């Protein structure tokens, strides 16, 4: 992303999202029965690093909605959907396909799973970004659980321009920012009603339900509370935040610094108070990850950091920007690395050591280093070339004011 296009604070939140998810999966490897009592609360908080998924959804909605809001407010035509589709596909598809394929091969070799029609169906539905619609396919592959969220996000990528298409068709909304945002709030309300309908119409039985039955049992435990429409509500909150942000004056203010810090504190408080509840931290309407308090706090932080005088730029340090650059690779490759370490060294993550915390820290350090190495290779050899191709294909097209890169 060019320096003039970078939004203050966005890289920080992206980096925090991927690091939270990594901390979550590392904490899941720690035997809670063997850790000292004084460390139990800290480890429990780390297990709620899955909140990073909500940050990704809010951040994507925020960044991808900005060009639509700008065009609507200016009375212009809708941004090119061809550009939008090409850049989204270039950013997401190559890395996702390669990680899913590597994981699929590892499932058959390292995990020694039989090649069944259902395993193949899960893999193919993932490649087509359609695995999010049924609990049997929610996890496309066995050796890379975090990939479940990518097809969910792709659904949001599709629904975002569909909803904006309706707004652009309503001529009274053009150049009327407050009215347009009010209609978007109505869109969110409709999405929440649709989510409630899914909860009532698609309840699942308890046969082989739960994580004791593997990933598919876990998927059955999650659904229908985990559904693409409910997650679009989180995504749409980020889009609403973008609509508010583009209405604000361009000048920066120390008031936004204070608001950003308060919003980040609220988000952190919601995360650290989650232990004691469900591992998914179901919030209002059984939408996971502290909905709506946590995503609203993240959305508020995004708006505020963008217009802050100091905090946004301080948080977006060079190391943070580098982590943000690798964030997609960190997300899609981490579970593969962790499973490889466990399979090649069954005593890793403190399993075979008397001091379980020390053993876990050593394995976690090795895992983090390998994840960053693989993510770097993934970015420079796979993701960045695909992004560049997407940019070349859309270079001469209109509506490039705000990048679609996330």
Q: Determine the Cα–Cα distance for residues 354 and 67; give it in Å rounded to an integer.
A: 55
Q: Give the mean model confidence (pLDDT) for residues 41-70.
A: 96
Cβ neighbours for 195, distance < 8 A, ≥ 6 positions apart? 227, 229, 230, 233, 285, 287
Neighbours of 168 (CB within 10 A): 19
Closest CA to 116 of 95, 136, 93, 144: 136
- pLDDT of amino acid 395: 83
- pLDDT of amino acid 226: 98
Angle between helices 10-27 and 327-344 (to 10 degrees): 10
Closest CA to 168 of 241, 60, 76, 66: 76
Report residue 32's pLDDT band, with 50, 70 and 90 as the boundaries: confident
What are 224-254's pLDDT values in tens digits?
999 999 999 999 999 999 999 999 988 899 9
- CA angle, corner 201, sides to 198 and 202, nearest 5? 75
Please tell me whether residue 253 adopts helix, strand or coil conformation.
strand
Does 405 have pLDDT greater than 70?
Answer: no
Q: Give the mean model confidence (pLDDT) for residues 339-363.
A: 91
**For residue 320, what are the CA distances in angstroms to 13, 96, 107?**
9, 23, 33
Q: Give the mean model confidence (pLDDT) for residues 65-94.
A: 96
What are 367-390's pLDDT values in tens digits?
999 999 999 999 999 999 999 999
- pLDDT of amino acid 317: 95
Q: Determine the Cα–Cα distance for residues 351 and 14; give it in Å rounded to an integer.
A: 32
- pLDDT of amino acid 36: 84
Q: What is the Rg, in whole angstroms, of the alpha carbon atoms belonging to the chain? A: 21
The chain-wide mean pLDDT, for the chain, equals 93
Report residue 397's pLDDT band, with 50, 70 and 90 as the boundaries: low
Does 3 have pLDDT greater than 60?
Answer: no
pTM: 0.94
Q: Which two tokens stand for residue 221?
A: 């435990």
Does 1 have pLDDT greater than 50?
Answer: no
Cβ neighbours for 36, distance < 8 A, ≥ 6 positions apart? 357
Report residue 313's pLDDT band, with 50, 70 and 90 as the boundaries: very high
- pLDDT of amino acid 154: 98
């Amino acid at each position: 992303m060019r320096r003039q296009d970078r939004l203050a604070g966005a890289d920080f939140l992206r980096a925090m999202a991927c690091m939270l998810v990594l901390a979550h999966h590392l904490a899941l490897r720690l035997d809670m029965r063997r850790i000292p009592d004084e460390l139990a609360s800290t480890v429990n908080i780390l297990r709620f690093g899955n909140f990073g998924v909500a940050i990704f959804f809010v951040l994507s909605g925020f960044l991808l909605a900005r060009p639509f809001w700008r065009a609507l407010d200016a009375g212009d035509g809708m941004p090119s959907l061809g550009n939008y589709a090409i850049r989204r596909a270039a950013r997401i598809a190559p890395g996702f396909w390669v990680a899913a394929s590597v994981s699929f091969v590892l499932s058959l070799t390292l995990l020694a799973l039989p090649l069944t029609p259902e395993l193949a169906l899960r893999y193919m539905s993932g490649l087509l970004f359609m695995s999010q619609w049924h609990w049997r396919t929610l996890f496309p592959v066995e050796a890379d659980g975090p990939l479940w969220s990518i097809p969910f996000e792709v659904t949001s990528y599709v629904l975002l321009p569909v909803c904006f298409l309706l707004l652009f068709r309503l001529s009274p909304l053009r150049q009327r920012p407050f009215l347009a945002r009010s209609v978007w709030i109505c869109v969110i309300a409709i999405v929440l009603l649709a989510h409630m309908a899914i909860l009532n119409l698609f309840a699942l039985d308890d046969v082989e339900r739960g994580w004791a039955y593997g990933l598919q049992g876990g998927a059955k435990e999650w659904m229908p509370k985990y559904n693409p429409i409910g997650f679009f509500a989180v995504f749409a909150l980020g889009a609403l935040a973008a609509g508010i942000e583009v209405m604000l004056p361009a000048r920066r203010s120390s008031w936004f610094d204070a608001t950003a810090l308060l919003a980040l504190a609220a988000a952190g408080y919601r995360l650290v108070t989650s232990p004691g509840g469900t591992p998914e931290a179901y919030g209002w309407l059984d939408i996971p990850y502290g909905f709506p308090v946590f995503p609203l706090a993240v959305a508020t932080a995004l708006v505020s950091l963008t217009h802050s005088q100091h905090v946004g730029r301080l948080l977006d340090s060079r190391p943070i920007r580098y982590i943000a650059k690798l964030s997609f690779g960190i997300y899609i490759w981490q579970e593969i690395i962790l499973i490889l370490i466990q399979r090649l060294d069954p005593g890793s993550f403190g399993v075979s050591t008397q001091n379980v915390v020390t053993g876990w820290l050593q394995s976690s350090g090795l895992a983090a280093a390998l994840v960053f190495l693989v993510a770097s290779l993934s970015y420079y050899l796979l993701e960045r070339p695909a992004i560049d191709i997407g940019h070349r294909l859309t270079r001469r097209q209109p509506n490039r004011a705000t990048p679609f890169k996330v």
